[in-house]
Chain A
Amino acid sequence: MRAIHNIIAVAKYESKTLFRSWFFRIFSILSLVFVFFYNFITQTGIGWPNQDMIALPSMIPFTNLYIINLAQAIIAVFLASEFLKQDKKLDTTEVVYMRSITNADYVIGKTLGNIWVFVMLNLIALGMVAVFNMASPYTRFNLLPYIYYFLLISLPTLIFIMGFSFFLMSVIKNQAVTFLVLLGYIAATLFYLQNKFHYIFDYMAFKLPMTWSEVVGFSSLKDIMIHRGIYFFLGLGFIGLTILLLRRLSQSKLVKEVVVSFSVLFLATGILLGFIYIRKITNEEGHRSVMLEINNRYAGMKVVRVQSYDIELEHLGNQIAATTTLNIKNAEKEALNEFVLTLNPGLEVQQLSGARYTREMQLLKIQPEKALQPGDSLKISIQYKGTIDESFCYLDQTPLQLENWKNSPNGVTDKKHAFVTPEYLLLTPENRWYPTAGVSYSSKGLNWLTSQFAHFQLKVKATKGFTVLSQGKKTEDENGTTLFQPEQPLTQISLAIGKYQTRSVTVDKVTYTLSFFDGHNTFDQYFKVLTDSIVPVIRDVKKSWEIKIHREYPFQRLQLIEIPVQFCSFNHAWSSAGEQVQPETVYMAEGGFKMSGTNFAGVKRMSQNQNRDHNNNETVSPRETEAGYLKRFINDTFLSSKVDPMGAFNGIRIGGSGPNLNTTDILNPYFIFPNYYNYLNFIASPAYPITNRVVESYLSKSATEGGNMFIRTMMGLSGDEKGNIALQNRSFADILEKQADSDILNNVIQTKSGFLFALMKGAVGPEKFDEFLRGFLDDRKFRIIQVEELNQEMRNNFKLDLNQYLPQWYTSAMLPGYILVDTKAFKIQKDNQIKTVISFVLTNTENISGAITVTFRLGGFGGGGGGMRRMGGGGGGSDENIEKTVVIGAKESKRLTFLLNRDPRMMTINTYASHNLPSTISQRFDKLEIDPKGEGSDKDEVIPYTDGSETSEIIVDNEDKGFRIVQPVSKSFIKKLFTSDVPDDELKYKGMNLWNPQVEWTLTTNEQFYGKQIRSAYYCKGGTGDRKAIWSVPIKEGGYYKLYAYIPKIRFGRGGDNQPDDIYEFNVTHDDGVDHPVVKADARESTWIEMGTYHFSSDSAKIELTNNTKSRFVFADAVKLIKEK
């Protein structure tokens, strides 16, 4: 009793003192003001709605607490270290220390006093947030996450950081040192440790996956509690140690002993929880490698075809029970004594009839009574029960990939692949919730890869009141079972059970349904008048999309189903389809979380602002506005292959920086494309299993043409370039096998696919080829196509043999390389019409043939890809493009002439996989003159080999031997420690970031740079002259030379002009001394700029460029010498 009285007394006055300290007051006022404005902006109609918070109301307390917690963790360190320092300094401490109070009471009182004040601050802030939340016009209020996040984020952080700082202060006894150590620790967890070692060091829960779904809550409350428990108990343990280390004579042996035992107990608990936490993960990794090893063992086995599935499934809370009957056929040419099926290892087989079987983790080894002869069928029935073992999913992802997976498209770091809970169930094919033929993945090649088309029938029994959603025609009977019968053979089937509401509309024989969780209809407020006019909108969007993709939607329904936010899917190298897109189904993250298309509130708010600014006269009817929202939603969600990076980075937990400036494309997981290819066609190729992926890449690319130049200059290399750089000295086969970075892999596949199809299109003619390919695929829907079939058809139609291209394309590391010279462009009068002639010489300098595509952009407006985000609307621009593909042999020069009916604005040559970096070459055309004598027609003639070089010039480029850079090594150890890890397979060329230029010389590529094939240069930030680029030009013959430097013109910022004071300072060492010519970079185009005439004797001339300039950045590219006559 007395102890409690003492603790309260100490705590009371400690909290009073803390509360009265200016430091704390300023901090709390600042945080409350910040919280106020942050919520005022994000949650009222006056500010800008935050889409994350609208989609997922738990983000409101989360985001707020996240910020407060970070701030208070730092403040607490300071205050806690102050605590012991003050004790030493104050006279009044003595009159407290001589009182009859135990050391434990004293320290506990102090700690509680401190924590109490912070807790109050948290509660006041959260209360304020809650008021905003309840009043928000955009979203719902949910109390539970407020409580959870407070208890799981704030409290353990506070207890830990207090205990830890008290403890350190008691040991180190110097406030400044303690403070530095602790801040270092915080900085390390924030910037370096982050998610490393499975978030084990993340005491602030800064990166720990903690998304809370309104449907299923946390993905694993237990795991989170273990993690937070680590810090909670360590904190308590440290407080205990502080008691023992307190410099005051203790007054009770008993209390001391109790404190010792509790400290030990708490610390041990913390450490134990840490072990439990890590062991769970390492166990999982071990488990995964065992499963992978088993898969590898059976990957070579012949695979049977499953022709039909009859699945009966019952949802039993945390389990499912199912009976699946499979009709299996031997499609191989030999008899099968044994074959394997894959079933999730969390599902226990209870009975299997029709054959003998053995189970090894995820594999079912089936031995038919007698060998299954070619063409024979077998019916087996498997009864199983259990839950989904999620560690089985995505065996193709290495532990490192899993750990580094942070820029998830849905911005959530939780990784749920299935849900089996009493409130909700979601099963996707990746789970293997029904048995499939063969293995799910093997790290040894791609030969196990199959996709099968089977007739499905699914019968589901779910708890009353739950809605069951799957593929096919749905019928419900009176005793609560739901039957699904897909009309076509499908590659896969998925299942969702939950408290859903469903709305649907049928347009042109396709039924579109939207299934969302009860109460999640906040979007209704944006669609008040649209109602029936939704039909033409859908019809229009679908039509224009299908014109672009040249294919037709093959199913009778398209359902959009909301699923819990933690669902995540990784991309497999062999397919662009993620689990979110299933046959006739798209699973959408809860509330449209992180989907730019669902940001109705933002769009509405923005258009309100625009209307006010422009005082628009042309009024848009509400119906048109709403149709705009819908169109934008459809375009952004289903019809874009990539996530708009500007939209994806608005989450506060995302954001990668560091030395790797190359952008990573984030694939849009909701891209509808698999429903136009993957779920209806599959090309099987035993020799080149990647073929299907290559065709897929070609089709999807052509449906989403149009890169984003804005992103390129701002953040780095485009996907094609990354693919091209990766291919410079490695074969496709090699990269497929060894490349771990899935982004680079995707880019390589895309580049290689473009190259292969350019070869074929070049040989056949692009339109003809495309028409053929699509027709071929349309005739062979819902079945496996053997690549031989495709080859046969091509031979028949075009006398084109795929096998002529494939081997070299697949295994050779050689690439073509092109030089473009002698471009002529003029107009002529022909048949009473003005036409334009463009002509140039193209040389392939390499020993392997290649193909390029020339695109002329005619007339129109607005050159490169749109820079700003388009709100509403969609689809491609209206520019007319003319596209020609040309095949060019090894070591061959061709003069290519094109006759165009309209003025070209720009010519772009795509060289696909080649030695040209960047892989596109473009040229703009200004006003062209009529040449009365000119002539021309479309021509493609081989001319004598020329590489276009002129003998009178000596050029040293940054790629040449004579070039080098000199710069101090500036990376300190600390800096290295805090920049996030550099991937091993980093690309040689980095992207250019002109908003924040690199301080060091950085090698980068750009069309504006000089280079025969590799148009690269070094760039760095303007500085003091400590960095130099040096060209040593070999001189064969002494004499006077005119010296030039190549000054690239990179468009940057508003107006895209170099600043007038962009100045390059060179040092030229010549026979009469050293000169310092200064070059102004004010030319309109990238060009050679003269720097004077100098006398150089034989040997070599030395030209230096330093970073001593006021301009933002400097490029070191090439110099040229021309001998004076």
Chain B
Amino acid sequence: MRIEIKGLNKVYPNGNHAIKDVNMTIESGMFGLLGPNGAGKSTLMRILVTLMKPSSGQVLVNGLDLMKDRKEIRSMLGYLPQDFRFFTKLKTYEFLDYAARLAGLTNGKSRREIVEKMLEEVGLYEARNRFANNLSGGMKRRLGIAQALIGDPKLIIVDEPTTGLDPEERIRFRNLLTRVSDKDVVIILSTHIVGDISSTCTDMALMNKGILSYKGSPEHLIELARNNVWKITATETEYFEIQEKYPIISSIPSEEGWEVQVVSKEINGYLGERIEPNLEHAYVNFMENELNQKWIEI
């Protein structure tokens, strides 16, 4: 699987330029999409799942044009929208069955098996006869994931799939995706939980204000942040100064005062040491230090 995005732009009817000239290629595997609120992640995804037309540009999915070959592309899709709360009056099982039918599972018997298996995998088997509207927020999300994965889609696009999931479920979900991503499948997920990406994605992109500002592996992003992450031990007064000067990742009160993690090139005399960056650090570092410098691509 291979998705090529060329010169993609989206201007909403109200003049909002949500995607600005995005170019990238996504290969098989799990692909993370990171970016602050309003960056254009959902917009990009909605274009990819044919809910919306781009204003200009081209998207090729395995060489198929998104604008022309919707029928084929749609039959490869699995999609979980960011908002997934309001259902028609259908039961959990029925909703998934509906999705399975539309995903092209025409054989009744095998469809039933697949649906039941999927319900078990997302932990909703017990709740299969409850109305979907009455499920808890997290359970709805799980149902959303289930319907996105049903029917073996080749291109899975999930918009913030893990919001609202408890930690145990999150791990379950990651494993589920990882299992799927073994095959020749593209999974694009957007998230604010950086941990989701670091633990699963081989490739990722970072978007900001509609612009694709980073595309590459998470490791490389972390590499960029090396030497820029510090742990400072600060007194109460210093702590307030630091707050003014540097983006703080975390701060823990300690006996001497505070233990603060910051992202910065230097720490100008505060008492501190460099620490090993993680993806979260890398993200903040990137947003703070790299963004206004130059376009980086590996």
Contacts and interface: CB of A to CB of B under 8 A. Distances in A.
Interface string A74-95: 0000000000001001111011
Contact of A9 (B70, B87, B102, B148): B102
A21 B84 contact: no
B192 interface: no
A92 B86 contact: yes
B173 interface: no
A165 B90 CA distance: 24
B201 to A, nearest CB: 22
A99 interface: yes
B252 interface: no
Contacts of A20: 89
A249 B104 contact: no
B297 interface: no
Given A95-B80, A249-B50, A249-B70, A100 B75 contact: yes
Contact of A17 (B52, B53, B85, B88): B88
A102 B53 CA distance: 17
Given A92-B84, A95-B79, A95-B147, A5 B101 contact: yes
B98 interface: yes
B6 interface: no
A173 interface: no
Interface string B91-112: 0001100110111101000000
A949 interface: no
Nearest to B151: A99
B103 A99 contact: yes
Contact of A100 (B53, B74, B95): B74
Given A16-B94, A89-B86, A91-B86, A100 B79 contact: no
Interface residues of A, number: 30
Contacts of A275: none
A5 B106 contact: yes
Contacts, number: 90
A100 B103 CA distance: 7
Given A17-B88, A91-B86, A249-B70, A98 B98 contact: no
A98 B95 CA distance: 15
B83 interface: yes
**Most chain B CB atoms below 10 A, which of A6, A100, A249, A250:** A100
Nearest to A17: B88
Nearest to B98: A13
Given A86-B88, A89-B86, A90-B88, A98 B50 contact: yes
Given A2-B104, A252-B71, A97 B51 contact: yes
A92 B89 CA distance: 11
A9 B90 contact: no
B216 interface: no
Nearest to B89: A20
B148 to A, nearest CB: 7
B18 interface: no
A535 interface: no
Contacts of B84: 91-92, 95
B81 interface: yes
Contact of B49 (A2, A98, A251): A98
Contacts of B148: 95
A221 interface: no
Contacts of B50: 98, 249, 251
B212 interface: no
B89 A90 contact: no
A98 B88 contact: no
**Most chain A CB atoms below 10 A, which of B51, B53, B94:** B51
Interface in B106-150: 106, 144, 147-148
A73 to B, nearest CB: 23
A1123 B86 CA distance: 85
A292 B4 CA distance: 80
B81 A94 contact: yes
A100 B51 contact: no
Contacts of A251: 50, 70-71, 74
Interface in A10-28: 10, 12-13, 16-17, 20-21
B83 A91 contact: yes
B185 interface: no
**Most chain B CB atoms below 10 A, which of A2, A13, A89:** A13
**Most chain B CB atoms below 10 A, which of A17, A20, A92, A94:** A92
Q: Interface residue tally of chain B, by bracket?
A: 20 to 34
B3 to A, nearest CB: 15
A100 B71 CA distance: 5
A937 to B, nearest CB: 93
A13 to B, nearest CB: 5
A95 B81 contact: yes
A100 B104 contact: yes
A113 to B, nearest CB: 11
A5 B101 CA distance: 8
A99 B88 contact: no
A147 interface: no
B124 to A, nearest CB: 15
B51 A16 contact: no
Contacts of A250: 70
Interface in A931-961: none
A91 B85 CA distance: 6
A250 B50 CA distance: 9
Nearest to B75: A100
A151 interface: no
Nearest to B83: A91
B74 A98 contact: yes
A95 B95 CA distance: 11
A94 B79 CA distance: 9
A101 interface: yes
A432 to B, nearest CB: 65
Nearest to A248: B51
Contacts of A2: 104, 106
B90 A17 contact: yes
B207 interface: no
A96 interface: yes
B188 to A, nearest CB: 13
A113 B102 CA distance: 16
B69 to A, nearest CB: 9
A248 B49 CA distance: 12
A92 B94 CA distance: 13
A101 B74 CA distance: 8
A249 B85 contact: no
A9 B98 contact: yes
B282 interface: no
B77 interface: yes
A94 B17 CA distance: 22
Contact of B102 (A17, A101, A248): A101
A7 to B, nearest CB: 11
B189 to A, nearest CB: 16
Contacts of B98: 9, 12-13, 96
B88 A92 contact: yes
Given A17-B90, A90-B88, A249-B70, A98 B79 contact: yes
A90 B83 CA distance: 10
Contacts of B52: 249
Interface in A238-262: 248-252
A16 B104 contact: no
12 contacts: A2-B106, A16-B89, A91-B81, A91-B83, A92-B95, A95-B79, A98-B79, A99-B77, A100-B70, A100-B71, A249-B50, A251-B50
Interface of A: 2, 5-6, 9-10, 12-13, 16-17, 20-21, 86, 89-92, 94-102, 248-252
Q: What 8 A-B pairs come out closest when comparing CB atoms?
A: A100-B74, A100-B75, A9-B101, A251-B70, A99-B102, A20-B89, A98-B49, A17-B88
Interface of B: 49-53, 70-72, 74-75, 77, 79-81, 83-90, 94-95, 98-99, 101-104, 106, 144, 147-148
Given A99-B103, A100-B104, 12 more contacts: A17-B90, A91-B81, A91-B85, A95-B81, A97-B51, A98-B50, A99-B74, A100-B74, A100-B102, A248-B51, A249-B52, A252-B70
